[in-house]
Amino acid sequence: MTQIPESELILNADGSVYHLHLHPDQIGEIIFTVGDPERVPEVSKYFDRIDFKVAKREFITHTGWMGDRKVSAMSTGMGTDNVEIFMTELDALVNIDLKTRLIKPVHTSLQIVRLGTSGTIHADIPVGSFLASETAIGLDTLMQFYPDLECDQSIAQALRKTLDLKFDPYQAEGSKSLLNQLSSDFSRGLTLTAPGFYAPQGRKLRIPAAITQYLERLESFRFGEKRITNFEMETAGYYAMGELLGHEVLSLNAILANRATGEFDKKAEKTVDLMISAALKLLL
């Protein structure tokens, strides 16, 4: 068995994994993630107790207990580039022996649940609602550097034609077992993961758009009975890395903006808190 070199799996002086600054015993069996580091305590306030806190760059971790389950709340920052770091190092904590630098013979699968915010492009999806991403399409290039995903790519290819893209988007699926634990409070949808907040999500301030009628094309896109329900910046990366690494991953979205109606949720903080509370009750 080949030992992983120090240059490839970088550890801190205390033996913790490089970016997350964590040791294997400092994460839970189920991990709730947020983009904003300031939102971590908004999740961990629901824990029965918090045993451990660490902060390194945008990666903040609170680990504790809810009932008899060890749980973590962690922030990733924005974008699939951060998600790639997060998922790879999180996997290393459970599936690589950090002392010997050898891959463990028995694989450990984590449950990872993103608690995020999102915008919709359809007038009939109201702000303040909750949506679980059943499938995600990535408009970023992360998967150009990894092996092909096993899941069907037909929706992603159809979207490429609709938008006249010069690159291949990728398609990845959320955990069916985690989806099945949700109540009807969470609708299910097809999420578009964008590599930015402005032009990649159809916003224009001072720079003109390269793709004409971008939002209109997305709003009218259909694949059978499926339509694109919402935009955000991480889900496809989570799902793709989850498939490749063998973890159960689910992305939950608080819909704060409606691009079709021009609305933004005036009670955004309350909406996010309600989603966090609902998710913890259902999944723990």
- pLDDT tens digits, the chain, 284 residues: what are they? 789 999 999 999 999 999 999 999 999 999 999 999 999 999 999 999 999 999 999 999 999 999 999 999 999 999 999 999 999 999 999 999 999 999 999 999 999 999 999 999 999 999 999 999 999 999 999 999 999 999 999 999 999 999 999 999 999 999 999 999 999 999 999 999 999 999 999 999 999 989 999 999 999 999 999 999 999 999 999 999 999 999 999 999 999 999 999 999 999 999 999 999 999 999 98
List, in order, residues 6 or more apart from 25 with CB less than 8 Å away: none
Can you tell me the distance from the alpha carbon of 158 to that of 20, in angstroms, rounded to the nearest whole number? Answer: 37
pLDDT at 284: 83
Written as six digits, the tokens of 240 are 């793709």
Q: Is the dihedral of CA 241, 243, 249, 250 positive or negative?
A: positive
What dotted CATH number matches 24-283? 3.40.50.1580
List, in order, residues 6 or more apart from 197 with CB less than 8 Å away: 78, 203, 233
Provide the β-strand partners of residue 47. Answer: none
Can you tell me the distance from the alpha carbon of 215 to that of 148, in angstroms, rounded to the nearest whole number? Answer: 28
pTM over 0.95: yes
pLDDT at 264: 97
Contact (CB, 8 A) for 73 and 34: yes
pLDDT at 1: 75
**Burial per residue of 255-284, b for 16 or more beta-carbon CB atoms within 10 angstroms, e otherwise:** bbbbbeeebebeeeeebbbebbebbbeebb
Written as six digits, the tokens of 39 are 């939102």
Cα 183 to the center of its chain, rounded Å: 20
